[in-house]
Structure 1
């Protein structure tokens, strides 16, 4: 497990984890409100309140983003986040009450640990209580990363079944230009592999020899050939493509740049390029890949520049997520698998 220090004032981040059940959630808080955008690329998303972020819709600012395990069950954690914010007088003023605006997305981690235990309202509150801030009380504190929060149950390399997966987690990336900062927090729960800049496999489908990985494309080709020949059946489902429906990479980026809702959504769209450069395959019909972007400042920058930096920060966060993960639920991390075999490249 590693840690980082936040650099964007007004953004707080906290985790809650259940390492026995191997699940958890992460909350990105913006108590003063932040303009937000979202881009959903996966074909099977699990989300909360994303329609609010459409530039045509009324609400301009959100107060929190929830990233959570537990599949659709994990959205219960948002109730705790709402209650925590309400107790502090944070929310959209309707005239009769302040309603906290909490958006979120889920990843599927029910295949590791206990499928009967999922993030709930109490865990959402715990994540808020643990929040690290870049400003105010607690400034300079460090945020834990790796197999914590939404990354607690995250795994990669499930195309050939959970038995050959590698443990992943939640990672962090940062890019700057002048006085503009963009930071990315990504929970990597991919069906395929994570690749480094040179194309080497950093984490993925564990191969026949310790420390080695089988390429996702090779597994997909084999799966395709079996389907064409009608050789697949229920018994082959776990060994060949058993993890197709059990993935999703979700994340939140934030910046001190001033953005409109439309611009924030454009930056989120461009940030997905960082996922495409580092995860293969990505954005499949079974993924719920979703990225949020929060604007919490007044710095000026061209949106094209910021989007390119966001993609780079996202790519770095994906690499970081598998590099700092630790094994849980009987699934080894990339560093543990490498230690067994002496290398990590396929």
Structure 2
């Protein structure tokens, strides 16, 4: 599986990375008019911003960019830079006194990977937004939000995780793509269950008692995007189902120490027939699992 979330028309991705401090952030820029967006949070230790507004029954329907970032909760400040820049461009939800850009965000914990005192802030979020240019591929590996990511950390000897991306062309027209920052407590496994990165965590769990990692020390965060037109409720269901891609590629997943979060967004350029929604959901799972595996492969 190959491809890139930027195969979805209207989606651009940019990164800011500090490979010395081992942290970074990734901005998924959506069309200026916004894209219908929702979210599903499965991990028990999430760090997020503006996720409540994405609930299917809440008023605002769109987001203008999505931030995936390192730096734990400190990294949420990177969204400030994205919002400020979009406001200056006139991008956002109209209000009587000006636009308000909607920039949901999710963080992963990478403070122990490099320098804990270096984390993405407003300037770094702005840099990632400015790097999100049309025609530029997302890229994968030790970049952006995946710069300080690690996996297989339950027994205290983690290995590098990273950022991965993939896309699937839909048979009835349209495309679905994913970008995933993989920083899991568990391991990354191939389709046949073979270990790609980690410490054989599941097998070891059945034989020995691990030391408990600090709460919030992990998390896998993702964006799934499509050009199929979706309602907000349909986008929410897409986010829910897309978590199955994490479950296929990460073992164990959605633990008490992870804050696993998946955003789903629709640029709305292709109108689907009802049966294609099932195809879309299935393809999203394939794309997410492939993106997770690509994140930990050599680049």
Segments of 5+ residues of structure 1 without an aligned counterpart are 134-138, 206-214, 227-239, 326-346
Q: Could you tell me which of 254, 260, 279 is aligned with 2:231?
A: 260
Q: CA, structure 1 residues 78+5, in 2 after alignment: closer, same or farther (shift >3 Å)?
A: closer
Figure out how many residues of one structure are paired with residues of the other and give that number.
293
What's 2:53 paired with?
52
Deviations 1:11-60 (A, max 9, x none): 11100011111000000111220000111000111111111111211101
CA contact (8 A) 1:80 1:125 kept: yes
**1:82 and 1:5 mapped to 2: Cα distance?**
22
Please state if 1:247 is matched with 2:218: yes
Deviations 1:80-134 (A, max 9, x none): 000110111101001211000110100010111001111000000000111132x
Segments of 5+ residues of structure 2 without an aligned counterpart are none
**1:154 and 1:260 mapped to 2: Cα distance?**
33
**1:312 and 1:75 mapped to 2: Cα distance?**
29
CA contact (8 A) 2:25 2:120 kept: yes
Please state if 1:191 is matched with 2:185: yes
CA contact (8 A) 1:41 1:289 kept: yes
Q: CA, structure 1 residues 298+142, in 2 after alignment: closer, same or farther (shift >3 Å)?
A: closer
Alignment of 1:166-177 (within 5 A): 166-177=159-170
Please state if 1:281 is matched with 2:252: yes
CA contact (8 A) 2:38 2:265 kept: yes
**2:278 and 2:87 mapped to 1: Cα distance?**
36
**Comparing 73-82 and 296-305, the one that deviates more:** 296-305
**2:215 and 2:208 mapped to 1: Cα distance?**
11
**Comparing 119-128 and 49-58, the one that deviates more:** 49-58
Deviations 1:141-199 (A, max 9, x none): 333321100000111010111xx211111001111113210000000001111000011
Structure 1 or 2, whichever has the larger Rg, is: 1
CA contact (8 A) 1:3 1:142 kept: no
Please state if 1:25 is matched with 2:19: no
Deviations 1:261-314 (A, max 9, x none): 110010111100000011001001121000001100232153222111100000
What's 1:315 paired with?
289
**1:62 and 1:3 mapped to 2: Cα distance?**
24
Alignment of 1:95-244 (within 5 A): 95-133=96-134, 139=135, 141-161=136-156, 164-178=157-171, 179-205=173-199, 215-224=200-209, 240-242=211-213
CA contact (8 A) 2:107 2:221 kept: yes
**1:223 and 1:289 mapped to 2: Cα distance?**
25
CA contact (8 A) 2:5 2:177 kept: no
TM-score (norm 1): 0.81
**2:295 and 2:7 mapped to 1: Cα distance?**
19
**2:56 and 2:3 mapped to 1: Cα distance?**
34
What's 1:305 paired with?
279
**2:214 and 2:161 mapped to 1: Cα distance?**
15
RMSD between aligned alpha carbons? 1.7
Aligned to 2:224, the other structure's residue is in SS state strand
What's 2:8 paired with?
8
